[in-house]
Structure 1
Amino acid sequence: MIPVAFDYIRPSTVDEAVAALGSADEGKVLAGGQSLLPVLRLRLAAPTVLVDLGGVPGLSGVRLEGDTLVIGAMTTHAEVAASDLVRQHAPLLAAAAGTVGDRQVRHRGTLGGSLAHADPAADLPAVAAALDATFVVQGPAGSRTIAAADFAVDLFTTALAPDDVLVEVRLPSTAGWATHYEKFHRTAQAWAIVGVAVAVRRDNGGIGSARIALTNMGPVPHRPGQVEAALSGAPAAQPAIAEACAAVADGTAPVDDLSASADYRRELARVLTTRAVCRALGV
């Protein structure tokens, strides 16, 4: 299909992008376009203005500020996966970014675009939630931050206002943590039927603390706090981990669709979470 007609604006600054979105009846941000362009072609979105961030300098790249990893929103998945800084300070994100789509998608799609699109089956929103990320957003009133826990609010819906631009993602360093991203999908390029992001800190041979987030177990990434609490202080052994992860699907809202039933997703979440924690710890 052919998208509806729209105006195209390529600003040179974030302020210009914010102003263009604010003056539009229905504006959309174009980052990598790997999610937006198919939506436009299917006419599931009909913006009057498309604001292309490709000409705005300073929105991509990775840097370290103290113990905080800072990643520009326009940094591609391939750049995230290949970055030595990301591999050292957020290895979970590097690993997950390397599983997104296929090579073409990873070289065009962006970290910020994926997070702002808020697809419940996308890999990176759950990873950002597990890593307690903070999102830096610029709007008409200036810059502000949004915690990952507050960013995704519903299906394909975030806390971004219509004239906000996601500028960067800030992650506390998890260097030294044991991490793993596990997902189940039917084909190599398919969306995750269920995914699990895990970061575990060892303590005296056991588990000191754990962060877990689930992909595609509801409209937004799910943090199973009861499982994180159960894992904290548990032995780093498969039986104890399996027992702690048994209730990981409690409080989730998976859907029935052509890929899997809700019950199947609940069982997958239990199996994959146990597997992810064990693989992170090497047990």
Structure 2
Amino acid sequence: MSFETKATVPSFGGRLLKLSHSSAVIGSPMALNLYLPPQASDANKVPWIFYLAGLTCTGDNGAEKGFFQAAAAQNGVAIVYPDTSPREPRYDGDDEGYDFGRAAGYYINATKAPYSATYKMESYIVEELYTALPKEFPLDPAKVGVMGHSMGGHGALTLYMKHPKKFKSVSAFAPIANPSNCHWGQKAFSGYLGDNADDWKAHDATELVKTFKGKLDVLIDVGTGDAFYKQGQLLPEHLETAAKKAGHEGVKIRFQKDYDHSYYFIATFAADHIEHHVRFLVSQDNLIDF
């Protein structure tokens, strides 16, 4: 597999590459963004972080509005911005609502037809991109983190806990922290996985944290003015309670007064999240605080 560079955008001394490729996992073309900091070169493979975007988004949203590149450039970290779902083939009804189907892949592998044929976003991230990108770009295959927003925050938390040997760091903005108990998650999981709620637990951060073995050091930000938080779509308190009961004191949730669900919120705390990841991906001697 090879990536085609559609555009190169200078950014904070580095390069934002707009890429496309034919995905063997998804079975169709996929697009993504890759930010390479100025330190990246053939002789210097840099740590990298997946940023998983939320509902309705593409790989462009975080790259253009998240404001991660400034801190990433200062600390020599690359950012990968994948898409949020397959874009083809299409299925009947997959664009009837913003919260299911196209742009709403939930970073899981669907088991229910017809979505099971192509909606394999978990394997796309942790197998295909994880393996393929370091072969073509100066990325250190041993230093990988994952973060995300909303649906992508759910993805970051669950992929980290399901694949702890693959990721060295994790953080989330306004994650859907207990999808089995909110409308968004129930709609998506029933459509992708079927109606057996027991099957959903393997893709629910609040359930996964109960049995996770090993140390968790997680940064999570949630805005108290977030309409989706107020509506009970995010449920971060459920994750916080489950983590404490399981003895995971390192699951840190910061409730940010009055902030909403937007990219203004993400951009405000983007540097904090990059710094969090850098502590696990880069030597402490090279850390730049903000």
Q: TM-score range by the shorter chain?
A: under 0.3
TM-score by length of 1: 0.28
TM-score by length of 2: 0.27
Larger radius of gyration: 1
